[in-house]
Amino acid sequence: MSGIHRRWLAPVLAATLWLWLGCGGGDDATGPGVTERMEPREQSLVREDAADPANLAPVIESVTLEPSDPSAGDPVVARVEATDTEGDRLRYSYTWRLDGERLPGSGPRVELPRSERGDEIELVVVASDGNSESEPYHVSTWVVNRPPRLLGIQIEPADHITAGTEISVTPSADDPDGDPLTFRYRWTVNGRRTGGSGPELETEHLRRGDAIQVWAVANDGEADSEPIQSPAINVANAPPRIISVPGGTGSDGEFRYEVEAEDPDNDRSLRYRIEDAPEGMKIEVLSGLITWRPTDSQAGTHTVQVIVDDLQGGIGRQAFEVSVGIDNAAPPAAPEPSDAGAASSDEE
């Protein structure tokens, strides 16, 4: 080797040796030029011997969770959209956490049997083309409230509802989260809303043939249940009621009592009759006026029963007693003179 070449080669070898020592070429290098070795990423899909410095890493465009608002106990599935410049086939790693606690499995679906309302569900997804990995993609959601379930409603009484009857509704419901429930109601009569939002309906204004329905919803403080509507219940005929009170016999010895009745359905064609009445007592069919003049033989206490009929199948009754003393009884009528008696008087 010529002298010129030796003079050129010596500085090159010295520089190479200096670089090798400064960059940690030895096993025990600890100087400031030593680079700490990075730990492999959790669940890395890239082999160390497969790294290609010319390869471009894939990019995760989006990650969606289905359902986006899961309820307690619902499984969750991740849908990943990613691209790779070289068109390489991609593989994914999934890291799930529930309220910060790592969940088992690394697939796109996770079961959450122990989840509760308010728990946070977190997911980190990494895509790999076999040479490079994407940046981690983070997505999260929360376990939401589950709405209550309204199982049914029952109107009471279930049959033969008449005007003036106390009507109420009893719901049957449950809540998957164990929340206390409240209820709202909407009453309709003949398809029109009436009354308030409570469980009872005032029925004084109802009439025979009206159709009653109630619509109900359960609420857990956050969400409503699906509504339930009852079948229609028709208002039955309501019997008339006697509202008057009888008195006693008058100073002339006659008993007079004008029966007064009212009908919840406003029926006007009321008819009156009496049963178990003493002999000689009469009642006017349309007005309900009772008259009776007892005789001496009828002194004592008599039971009377009055009936009012609305001609629609409804009957009202009233029973009472009438007491007759000897002083109140009419004296016996004087016998009329016969023709034979008058003739003998003339002869005398």
| CA–CA gap between residue 190 and residue 202 (Å, rounded) | 15
pLDDT (0 to 100) of residue 250: 87
| pLDDT band for position 158 (cuts 50, 70, 90) | confident
Task: Assign 94 to helix, strand or coil.
Answer: strand
Please classify residue 203 by burial: count the beta carbons closer than 10 Å to its beta carbon, then call 0-12 exposed, 13-18 middle and 19+ buried. buried
pLDDT (0 to 100) of residue 203: 87
DSSP tag of 296: G
pLDDT digits (tens, 9 = 90+) for 183-195: 999 999 999 998 7
Q: Which of 161, 328, 128 lies closest to 232 in space, CA to CA?
A: 161
| CA–CA gap between residue 148 and residue 275 (Å, rounded) | 58
Q: Which of 115, 133, 112 lies closest to 124 in space, CA to CA?
A: 133
pLDDT digits (tens, 9 = 90+) for 274-322: 998 999 999 999 999 999 999 989 999 999 999 999 999 999 999 999 9
| CA–CA gap between residue 96 and residue 111 (Å, rounded) | 10
| CA–CA gap between residue 203 and residue 240 (Å, rounded) | 16
Q: Are 126 and 134 in contact (CB under 8 A)?
A: yes
Residues facing 110 on adjacent strands? 76
Count of Cβ atoms closer than 10 Å to residue 298 Cβ:
18
Please classify residue 4 by burial: count the beta carbons closer than 10 Å to its beta carbon, then call 0-12 exposed, 13-18 middle and 19+ buried. exposed
pLDDT (0 to 100) of residue 328: 55
If one compares 53 and 146, the residue with the highest pLDDT of the two is 146
Residue 117 pLDDT exceeds 60: yes
85: phi > 0 → left, psi -120 to 50 → alpha, else beta; which?
Answer: alpha
Strands ordered across the beta sheet of 149-156: 149-156, 167-174, 200-201
pLDDT digits (tens, 9 = 90+) for 85-101: 999 999 999 999 999 99
**0.75 cut: is pTM over it?**
no
Q: Which domains does the chain have, with CATH numbers?
A: 48-142 (2.60.40.10), 149-234 (2.60.40), 241-324 (2.60.40.10)
| CA–CA gap between residue 215 and residue 201 (Å, rounded) | 12
Burial letters 276-286, b for 16+ CB under 10 A, else e? ebbeebebeee
pLDDT digits (tens, 9 = 90+) for 261-285: 999 888 889 999 999 899 999 999 9
Pairing mode, if any, of strands 91-98 and 120-128? antiparallel
pLDDT digits (tens, 9 = 90+) for 62-90: 999 999 999 998 999 999 999 999 999 99
| CA–CA gap between residue 198 and residue 159 (Å, rounded) | 20
Residue 139 pLDDT exceeds 90: yes
